[in-house]
Amino acid sequence: MEDAALSAFSVFFTQTPSFLAYQRTMEGNKGKSNAQSWFGIHQIPSDNHIRDLLDSVSPDHIFPVFEDILQVLEVQGQLEGFRSLGGSLLVALDGTEYFSSYKIHCPQCSKRTLKSGETHYFHSVVTPVIVCPGKTGVIPLVPELIVPQDGHDKQDCENAAAKRWLSSQGQR
């Protein structure tokens, strides 16, 4: 499980959609990959294996990592460089789809019916980040998943998810 989680996390560093494909390309071009040296990964799992393992992990178990990173940045004084407008932090919110399929779906999927009658399933999220004018980097914050809400007939949307995020995280 540790190798799978590290492989999934490492995608952010390599900025490629498939860590396994990236490592295979590196191995082909350079004779070795950096999975072991960078991340201590002993056996590189396939993308599907990573998905299968991580599907059972609730996002709530991962969200505390965002707060931990933010606290470390605060203690190290790194957040000071992001402060503006009277010492406040500017947060940009944006929605994005991170999964899309016409065949594969789960109870947490949002869906849209196309004019053709075909159903398009997808997962989306509101991704808040701390931004600062003049800085190219951003600091990611706990995301808000756009998922079917208990007791609601209407499908969840970016605006509702953004309001939930502002209500739960906005004053922090």
Are 93 and 138 within one domain?
A: yes
What string of pLDDT tens digits covers the 172 residues of the chain?
566 666 566 555 566 666 677 777 777 777 777 776 676 776 777 767 777 777 778 888 888 888 999 999 999 999 999 998 788 999 999 999 988 999 999 888 888 999 999 999 999 999 999 999 999 999 999 999 998 776 666 778 889 899 999 999 877 6
Cβ-based neighbours of 155, under 8 Å, separated by 6 or more: 110, 111, 148
Are 98 and 21 within one domain?
A: no
Are 87 and 156 within one domain?
A: yes
Are 67 and 143 within one domain?
A: yes
Cβ-based neighbours of 141, under 8 Å, separated by 6 or more: 66, 70, 91, 128, 129, 130, 169
Are 87 and 149 within one domain?
A: yes
What is d(CA 46, CA 40) in angstroms, rounded to the nearest whole number?
16
Are 90 and 15 within one domain?
A: no
Are 73 and 142 within one domain?
A: yes
Are 85 and 164 within one domain?
A: yes
Its domain, for residue 22, covers: 2-55
Say how many domains are in the chain. Answer: 2
Are 49 and 66 within one domain?
A: no
Are 99 and 28 within one domain?
A: no
Are 95 and 118 within one domain?
A: yes
Are 84 and 49 within one domain?
A: no
